[in-house]
């Protein structure tokens, strides 16, 4: 069985399987639930559970789990077997009821809740999400689920995402009716490109920082990095190709449409891109992709690093969250052949533009983590300042609605390759901007800020919601309009006039842009500690409450969880650095200084010059002093932070004091690495890892 079509989706309880295994009435009712959100009754759930159990056991499953996404940012699962004891006889029977399918009870107190649950209040529940397909992995049936507390507050990433999709569907339909359209569903479509690093497993186990934090906390730059641009799109190494073959097969069997894979810009860095699917499935599939990546890497003698900045001085890794909007298969962000007259497209662009400008802080917060702070601002990662690239054609078209001018329909140009034998083809109507956080790329928006290890649930929840709010405001105007066409023109003109500051089509890395952004009044929330307090701004609480995404209590809990995660992440990084500095780096540096001192004594006895040894020992002695002092200072700061009760002040301490101290410690250690012999350095260097 070597054809993709023969095994694609074979481990997924997808529509084809449901249609085959369910009675027609049950299948129709389930489709009604999936497409229109109608609740399932228990009798129907029993029928579906029986079919799902039969199918899963045929695939080798012995257990099932409600697979959910708590606020840890990773997935969680509790496995139960399909077997139970028959009452009265004690015989083993196969059992999986509708109740087992619909819900389960994990311990809610052991997951982050931000104060929603006390430690002794243990009960939580998961609820089956029928809009995302169940699948089999290893010997277990995975049932995608939402997760909430005993009181009904959501404790996961999926529930707000589903709520945001529901809100966006509602408001988009209100707008579309004014264009004579009445789609069955309006769905945000997402393609999440995943960047990652692969390193040899033997090297991985020799680095304490990689094992504990997933990234290197020390390491001088290798003599060669990505300067020659020779890794990007280069020949895929044999061992990596084997990994990709394993990965593809595992993903395809679970219905994940992995499409493109290639070498990325940095040494040992790679990327995988899937075909678009609906936002909820895309989020689930990306979480599963990260899990399978780690498993496939181990099977091939590698380790997969998903940290945003596993190595200094080369590219970090992110996710490019490609977002569009589909109405019964029609892409509402497709400009068509005559963009200037496609007012529905222009309204959709305006909706995104208005939402992104009004809620810059929420967009930034949706990707705010300690790891992502290390990546943003360079090496193909956009800066923390939120802006949008629309390109000249769209920008000029929007501007024309303000000044009443006409814009000629843009035409693609033939590329003048100058070689007759080469095929003739037209270029796209607009270039791309790799430095822009939020860029239009032909028929979608590419949000380039999410970090590689993050769930894409939160950023898509925010994008869906801010666009839903814009569409709601547009629909409110059109519902009352006497002349709809004139009102549409007015909306486009007003949105461009009021929100054009968010458009920037230039180089987002330039110092001039930072100054210009400040003049425009755009936010520059450079780190997570600076960004997070804006989460609870009154306008954000009002927005998420209005559309039923999160209530105020749920927002406060998430704020608490995000602050806590930020502090804990940096605390682990700092503690690991102290441990490595004290027990590995400092002893190695001092040992070499001692060797140099012995060499000086021996050479002086022979009346030989000792200038080289003395110079190196002086440099290393200064490094050793700095390593000792900074590691002691860092240890003291971490101790102080551990007793702080105010989380805002604690996060500020980490951002303003702990991180700079970590940077100074690293600088001293990395300088020492450049002088200590390879045989004496306590762990593999960047040259050994990356080259």
- Asked if residue 570 belongs to a domain, the reply is yes
530 in Cβ contact with 521 (< 8 Å): no
- Asked if residue 248 belongs to a domain, the reply is yes
Whether 152 and 181 map to the same domain: the answer is no
342 in Cβ contact with 251 (< 8 Å): no
Residues 6+ apart with CB under 8 A from 583: none
CATH number at residue 650: 1.20.120.1560
Rg of the Cα trace of the chain?
A: 28
Residue 224 confidence (pLDDT): 86
Residue 1 confidence (pLDDT): 46
End-to-end alpha-carbon separation of the chain, Å?
37
Question: What CA–CA distance (Å, rounded) separates 350 from 499?
Answer: 9
**Counting Cβ atoms within 10 Å, is residue 629 exposed (0-12), middle (13-18) or buried (19+)?**
middle
Whether 539 and 642 map to the same domain: the answer is no
Whether 176 and 306 map to the same domain: the answer is yes
Domain boundary among 122, 156, 190: 156
Question: What CA–CA distance (Å, rounded) separates 316 from 380?
Answer: 8
Instruction: Identify which of 512, 355, 505, 530 has the alpha carbon closest to the alpha carbon of residue 437.
Output: 505
- Asked if residue 114 belongs to a domain, the reply is yes
Q: Is 537 helix (H, G, I), strand (E, B) or coil?
A: coil
Q: Is 285 helix (H, G, I), strand (E, B) or coil?
A: helix
Residue 410 confidence (pLDDT): 55
* Backbone phi, psi, residue 481, to 5°: -80, 140
Residues of the chain with pLDDT below 50 are 1
Whether 178 and 304 map to the same domain: the answer is yes
What size, in residues, is the chain?
Answer: 691
Instruction: Identify which of 537, 569, 558 has the alpha carbon closest to the alpha carbon of residue 213.
Output: 569
- Asked if residue 452 belongs to a domain, the reply is yes
Q: Is 66 helix (H, G, I), strand (E, B) or coil?
A: strand
User: Which is it for the CA torsion 618, 619, 623, 624, positive or negative?
Assistant: negative
CATH number at residue 76: 3.10.20.70
CA distances for 192 relative to 248, 260, 282, 364, 589, angstroms: 16, 11, 7, 18, 44
- Asked if residue 557 belongs to a domain, the reply is no
Question: What CA–CA distance (Å, rounded) separates 140 from 582?
Answer: 44
Residue 409 confidence (pLDDT): 55
Strands 438-440 and 388-389, by their bridges, are: parallel
Instruction: DSSP letter for 311, please.
Output: S
- Asked if residue 559 belongs to a domain, the reply is no
Whether 497 and 578 map to the same domain: the answer is no
Domain boundary among 156, 188, 213: 156
User: Which is it for the CA torsion 259, 348, 368, 461, positive or negative?
Assistant: negative
Whether 359 and 284 map to the same domain: the answer is yes
Q: What would the two tokens of residue 475 be?
A: 């629909």
Residue 444 confidence (pLDDT): 96
Structure confidence by residue, pLDDT tens digits, 539-592? 999 999 999 999 999 999 999 999 999 999 999 999 999 999 999 999 999 999
- Asked if residue 561 belongs to a domain, the reply is no
Number of domains in the chain: 3
Whether 146 and 236 map to the same domain: the answer is no
Q: Which domain holds residue 487?
A: 164-412+427-550
- Asked if residue 418 belongs to a domain, the reply is no
Question: What CA–CA distance (Å, rounded) separates 368 from 651?
Answer: 13
Whether 140 and 183 map to the same domain: the answer is no
644 in Cβ contact with 546 (< 8 Å): no
Whether 50 and 124 map to the same domain: the answer is yes
Q: Which residues of 50-63 are buried (b: 16+ CB within 10 A; e: fewer)?
A: bbbbebbeebebeb
∠5-11-13 over CA atoms, to 5°?
105
Residue 5 confidence (pLDDT): 83
Domain boundary among 490, 516, 550: 550
319 in Cβ contact with 195 (< 8 Å): yes
Instruction: DSSP letter for 686, please.
Output: H
User: Which is it for the CA torsion 503, 508, 513, 514, positive or negative?
Assistant: positive
326 in Cβ contact with 189 (< 8 Å): yes
199 in Cβ contact with 268 (< 8 Å): yes
Which single residue is written with the structure tokens 């929603």?
116
Q: Is 342 helix (H, G, I), strand (E, B) or coil?
A: coil
Q: Is 219 helix (H, G, I), strand (E, B) or coil?
A: coil
560 in Cβ contact with 114 (< 8 Å): yes
What's this model's pTM, rounded to 2 decimal places? 0.94
Which single residue is written with the structure tokens 């049936």?
141
Q: What would the two tokens of residue 438 be?
A: 């939020």
CA distances for 41 relative to 20, 51, 107, 162, angstroms: 21, 16, 26, 20
Question: What CA–CA distance (Å, rounded) separates 497 from 200?
Answer: 53
Residue 411 confidence (pLDDT): 58
Whether 112 and 229 map to the same domain: the answer is no
354 in Cβ contact with 501 (< 8 Å): no
Whether 126 and 186 map to the same domain: the answer is no
Whether 600 and 494 map to the same domain: the answer is no
């Amino acid at each position: 069985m070597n054809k993709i079509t023969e095994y694609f989706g074979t481990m997924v309880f997808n529509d084809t399987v449901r249609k085959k295994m369910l009675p027609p009435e049950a299948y129709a009712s389930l489709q009604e639930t999936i497409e229109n959100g109608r609740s399932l009754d228990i009798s129907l759930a029993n029928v579906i559970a029986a079919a799902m159990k039969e199918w899963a056991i045929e695939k080798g499953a012995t257990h099932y789990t409600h697979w959910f996404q708590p606020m840890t940012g990773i997935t969680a699962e509790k496995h139960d077997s399909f077997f139970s004891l028959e009452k009265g006889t004690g015989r083993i029977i196969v059992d999986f009821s509708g109740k087992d399918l619909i819900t389960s009870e994990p311990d809610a107190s052991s997951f982050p809740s931000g104060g929603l649950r006390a430690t002794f209040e243990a009960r939580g529940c998961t609820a089956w999400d029928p809009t995302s397909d169940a699948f089999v992995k290893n010997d277990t049936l995975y049932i995608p689920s939402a997760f909430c507390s005993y009181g009904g507050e959501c404790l996961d990433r999926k529930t707000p995402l589903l709520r945001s999709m529901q809100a966006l569907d509602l408001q988009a339909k209100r707008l579309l009716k004014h264009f004579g359209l009445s789609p069955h569903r309006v769905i945000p479509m997402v393609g999440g490109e995943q960047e990652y690093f692969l390193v040899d497993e033997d090297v991985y186990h020799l680095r304490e920082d990689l094992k504990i934090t997933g990234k290197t906390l020390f390491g001088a730059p290798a003599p060669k990095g990505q300067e020659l641009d020779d890794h990007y799109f280069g020949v895929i190494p044999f061992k990596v190709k084997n990994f990709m073959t394993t990965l593809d097969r595992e993903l395809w069997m679970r219905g994940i449409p992995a499409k493109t894979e290639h070498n990325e810009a940095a040494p040992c860095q790679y990327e995988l891109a899937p075909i678009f699917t609906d936002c909820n499935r895309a989020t689930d599939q990306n979480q599963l992709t990260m899990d399978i990546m780690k498993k496939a890497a181990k099977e091939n003698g590698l380790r997969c690093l998903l940290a945003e900045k596993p190595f200094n001085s080369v590219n970090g890794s992110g996710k490019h969250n490609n977002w569009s909007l589909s109405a019964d298969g029609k892409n509402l962000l497709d400009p068509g052949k005559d963009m200037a007259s496609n007012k529905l497209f222009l309204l959709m662009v305006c909706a995104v533009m208005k939402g992104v400008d009004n809620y810059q802080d929420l967009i930034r917060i949706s990707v705010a983590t300690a790891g992502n702070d290390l990546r943003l601002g360079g090496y193909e990662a956009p800066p923390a300042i939120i802006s949008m690239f629309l390109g000249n054609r769209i920008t000029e078209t929007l501007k024309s609605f303000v000044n009443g001018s006409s814009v000629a329909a843009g035409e693609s140009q033939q590329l003048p390759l100058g070689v007759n034998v080469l095929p003739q083809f037209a270029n796209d109507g607009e270039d791309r901007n790799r430095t822009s956080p939020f860029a239009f790329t032909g028929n979608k928006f590419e949000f380039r800020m999410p970090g590689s290890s993050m769930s894409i649930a939160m950023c898509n929840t925010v994008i869906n919601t801010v666009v839903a709010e814009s569409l709601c405001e547009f629909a409110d105007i059109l519902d009352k309009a006497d002349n709809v066409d004139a009102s549409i023109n007015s909306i486009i003109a007003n949105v461009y006039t009021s929100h054009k500051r968010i458009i920037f089509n230039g180089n987002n890395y330039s110092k001039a842009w930072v100054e210009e952004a400040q003049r425009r009044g755009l936010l520059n929330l450079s780190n997570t500690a600076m960004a997070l307090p804006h989460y609870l701004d009154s306008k954000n609480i009002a927005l998420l409450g209005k559309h039923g995404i999160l209530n105020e209590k749920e927002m406060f809990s998430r704020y608490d969880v995000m602050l806590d995660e930020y502090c804990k992440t940096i605390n682990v990084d700092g503690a690991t650095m102290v441990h490595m500095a004290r027990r590995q780096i400092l002893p190695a540096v001092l040992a070499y200084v001692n060797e140099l001192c012995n060499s000086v004594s021996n050479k002086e006895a022979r009346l030989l010059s000792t200038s080289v040894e003395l110079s190196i020992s002086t440099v290393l002695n200064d490094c050793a002093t700095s390593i000792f002092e900074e590691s002691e200072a860092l240890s003291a700061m971490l101790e102080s932070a551990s007793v702080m009760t105010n989380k805002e002040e604690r996060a500020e301490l980490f951002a303003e004091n702990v991180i700079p101290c970590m940077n100074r410690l690293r600088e001293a250690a990395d300088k020492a690495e450049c002088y200590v012999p390879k045989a004496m350095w306590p762990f593999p260097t960047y040259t050994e890892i990356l080259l």
